[in-house]
Structure 1
């Protein structure tokens, strides 16, 4: 039933096309084939179809084969299919696979760079650079690389088709090849750890084992003279010398001892003595020479005292580790009296 209706529609389109190609009205076409205009109208609407004798007559009049009028394929649809280009499916599989594999290959090199950077900034790093692959941010690169490989595999399987067993085998093959591609680079990064790596990170939350954290012993504190400033002259106690009546001269010519003194807060006198170039806390002998004229009827007694230059010395604490020193906020301040000469005067007796 449906096939007969489809056949009528195909014959109707063929008759309409023949009439229009020959620029005939329904009345003119009906007169040529010997039927009424209403019959032609019913044929073109697919309500009825001409009998075999009428079809043979039309084939003779318009030079067309009967079997062509009876074909089930629509002529117009056939022409449309010829002119419409097939859609091209974009191939994302190769792009995604290349991005994913490049991400896997580059990850160990980024891990090596991260290890060197940690050593330069923090003086500590993992023993093996590939341990950084599973930490942020390299773990994100690893996840994205695997994601791109998965998408590339998906589009490859979608394009090829086939049953699920073949698709699964193809997916596993691509995954294994990607991992094998990454392994040589990963092993290379593991065999060449940074030459200065000393401390290995330990995840204290990974288990319930108690770890004893040992302090570093290669660093130490020390003190150094940070500044020294001249505070002026200070004076020691008067010392009495010889006396005499005038007219004449009173003279002192002897040796006497003086000690450079220190006061305040300090670590040791050795560093301070070295910075000033003097001896502190030890008596030293110095020559005392002076002459004083005495007028007639007078008696004078010479007196003398040591003169000191007073220095303010500031020491600062430093911390040294791995050949580098850094200053702390701890300081000590002291004052040193350094002998430089004698001061003279006299008493009138």
Structure 2
């Protein structure tokens, strides 16, 4: 719908003649007629006055389509929120993996010192890792590290495409 058709429709819906509209805007009836025929366009001040007079947005007045506010458009934040969440989860998993590895090392040394005090011991720390539940902690740490690294690298690979 053109501006002229829009103006004519709005004017008629509000029960105004071209002369009455012209008087309210402070222009000639011929000016309103030219606008409705799309032979001329009003200046920006008149567009603003018409928009206020008929209580429509300038966008709706000029295009004939209802005004769409910013909320009706997809937001870029929504598109990147999945990537951001993936990065945060990846970083947390890497951190958890590192903490588990450090704790496993301390636990193995601590178990070795306890066995030394009781009189039974193994020759090195790796034997403790195989004979005690510390190996499960190391396995969890490895899974956390690998998953976290994968999640951190994955968004970068998708951006290259």
Provide TM-score, normalisation by structure 1. 0.28
Distance 1:154 1:25 in 2: 64
Q: CA deviation at 1:149?
A: 1.0
Which residue in the other structure is 2:127 paired with? 131
Provide TM-score, normalisation by structure 2. 0.54
Which residue in the other structure is 1:86 paired with? 77
Q: CA deviation at 1:141?
A: 0.7
Give the total of aligned pairs: 125
Cα deviation 1:178-224 (Å, max 9, x = unaligned): xxxxxxxxxxxxxxxxxxxxxxxxxxxxxxxxxxxxxxxxxxxxxxx
Distance 1:107 1:99 in 2: 12
Change (3 A) 1:118 1:159: same
**Does structure 1 retain, via aligned residues, the 8 Å contact 2:35–2:41?**
no
**Does structure 2 retain, via aligned residues, the 8 Å contact 1:97–1:152?**
yes
Which residue in the other structure is 1:151 paired with? 147
Which residue in the other structure is 1:327 paired with? none
Instruction: Choose 1 or 2 for highest CA Rg.
Output: 1
Which residue in the other structure is 1:321 paired with? none
**Given the alignment of the two structures, is residue 114 of structure 1 paired with residue 111 of structure 2, yes or no?**
yes
Q: Any unmatched runs of 5+ in structure 1?
A: 1-7, 34-51, 167-349
Distance 1:144 1:154 in 2: 15
Q: Any unmatched runs of 5+ in structure 2?
A: 20-33, 49-57
Q: CA deviation at 1:138?
A: 0.5
Q: CA deviation at 1:25?
A: 6.1
- Going by fraction, where is helix more abundant, 1 or 2? 2
Which residue in the other structure is 1:32 paired with? 18
Of 94, 98, 101, the residue aligned with 2:95 is 98
- Going by fraction, where is strand more abundant, 1 or 2? 1
Change (3 A) 1:70 1:157: same
TM alignment of 1:121-270, pairs within 5 A = 121=118, 123-162=119-158
**Does structure 2 retain, via aligned residues, the 8 Å contact 1:96–1:149?**
yes
Q: CA deviation at 1:142?
A: 0.5
Q: Secondary structure at the match of 1:124?
A: coil
Distance 1:143 1:101 in 2: 12
Change (3 A) 1:103 1:57: same
Distance 1:152 1:26 in 2: 63
Distance 1:76 1:25 in 2: 24
TM alignment of 1:10-25, pairs within 5 A = 15=6, 19=10
Which residue in the other structure is 1:69 paired with? 62
Q: Choose between structure 1 and 2 for higher RCO, CA contacts under 8 A separated by at least 6 residues.
A: 2
Q: CA deviation at 1:145?
A: 0.7
Which residue in the other structure is 1:316 paired with? none
